Amino acid sequence: MTPSGIWYAIGAYAAWGFLPVYWKLLQHVPAPELLAHRIVWSFVALALVIAGTRQWRSFREATMRRRVLGIYTVAALLIGVNWLTYVYGVNAGFIVETSLGYFINPLLSVLLGVVVLRERLRPLQWLPIALATAGVVYLTIAYGAPPWIALILAVSFALYGLIKKTAPLGSLFGLTLETGLLLIPALGYLAVVESTGDGAVLTGDAATVTLLVGAGVVTSLPLLMFASAATRIPLSLVGILQYIAPTLQFLIGVVVYDEPLTSERLVGFGLVWIALVIFAVEGYSARRVEPSVAEAE
């Protein structure tokens, strides 16, 4: 484990945590158009990284296979749904609910591991999953409807993570391919919007255009930092640090943008937070016991 890995991880999760502030600066741009710009400029930023490191040949050789294209087409659709839902949620005033999605996500990923990958859970691991489920059910009853934004974010990102778990490419090549697969539809959509005179580029000011172009950097940079962190620090530490992002999002929604924090929300979120604490403590305890058992053998 290296100190640089910890800082890379903190930098990535802090960047994701403050991302709502960036999208709020572009709340006058419709969510589908903002998504299209995010795809286009992310692809440009990632392509420049590949070009700068002279990896284009390796990229083409790694990606031009039917199986690889099939896997990453599904991944691209899932990340597209996730990005669109997130941008919509932030700019529609649901930052707190978007944070709930990323609090739930780790527990949902564990459940998918059990259902899809046939992984086995330790008995105590079922408790946080049950508590998180109870929290979502409580919020559904309190709202009168399921927290759809949070659920779509959690499900889409958990499924995306499941696919990426067995995907053959690294993070740089993988994300470049995903945004590349979405590039033509995104460019087509932007061409139609701009041709009607409603596009943000031709009708917007310089600040708007700059922020749209910068969407590629704010999307790609945290992912590259995360990739660097994942190779330098234990996965258990990555798992603990990942809660920096939704915690910052929650605080920004409540403190900066004055989103309501009702008693019903506190109860629902409280159940999820308790679940996460139990999950983290149980995982840490299990990892401490395993080396001791191995040494005894």
Long-range CB contacts (within 8 A, 24+) of 253-261: 253/20, 253/94, 253/95, 253/96, 253/98, 253/99, 254/96, 256/21, 257/20, 257/24, 257/93, 257/95, 259/93, 259/94, 259/95, 259/96, 261/96
pLDDT at 143 > cutoff 80: no
pLDDT tens for residues 250-281?
Answer: 899 988 999 888 888 888 888 888 888 887 78
Angle formed at CA 43 by CA 156 and CA 162, multiple of 5 degrees: 25
Long-range CB contacts (within 8 A, 24+) of 47-52: 47/176, 49/172, 49/220, 49/224, 50/172, 50/173, 50/176
Q: Residue 20 has what pLDDT?
A: 93
- Which pTM was predicted? 0.84
pLDDT tens for residues 17-51?
Answer: 999 999 999 999 999 999 999 999 999 999 999 99
Q: Which of 35, 25, 44 is nearest to 217 (CA)?
A: 44
Q: Residue 205 has what pLDDT?
A: 86
Q: Residue 111 has what pLDDT?
A: 80
Distance from C-alpha of 248 to C-alpha of 228, rounded to nearest angstrom? 22
Comparing 181 with 200, the larger pLDDT belongs to 181
Confidence label for 204 from pLDDT (cuts 50, 70 and 90): confident
Q: Residue 293 has what pLDDT?
A: 43
- Stretch 202-216: mean pLDDT, rounded? 89
Q: Give the number of other Cβ atoms within 10 Å of residue 228's Cβ.
A: 18
